[in-house]
Amino acid sequence: MNEDQLLATADIESVDSALQDYGDNASILVHPDMLNRMMTHFPDNFTKRGENIWYRSTHAISVHNAEDGAVEVIEMG
């Protein structure tokens, strides 16, 4: 496993960990590089609906300009 794959695995684990305290009504914000890594190495975890990208078919995922690796979860509705 190369460094990019290791980072992508850590990214997925970070997102899953951040979502543990939320139900399906949560949106995820990540750094663009983080999203690209995860989508490159774990494409089956993502679906596209219109202009939106969904993580594990239950959580909308968007990008932010914070530090690479930072995950923010926003509870919706």
Q: What is the pLDDT of residue 22?
A: 86
Range of the domain at 30: 3-75
- Give CA–CA dist 53/55, Å, rounded: 7
3-state secondary structure of 61: strand
Find the angle CA(38)-CA(61)-CA(42) to the nearest 5 degrees: 20
DSSP state of 14: H
**What is the number of domains present in the chain?**
1
Place of tokens 């990019």: 4
Rounded distance between C-alpha atoms, residue 38 and residue 7, angstroms? 9
Q: What is the pTM of this model?
A: 0.90
- Dump pLDDT digits (tens) for 15-56: 999 999 887 889 999 999 999 999 999 999 999 999 999 999
Q: Binning pLDDT at 50, 70 and 90, where does residue 13 land?
A: very high
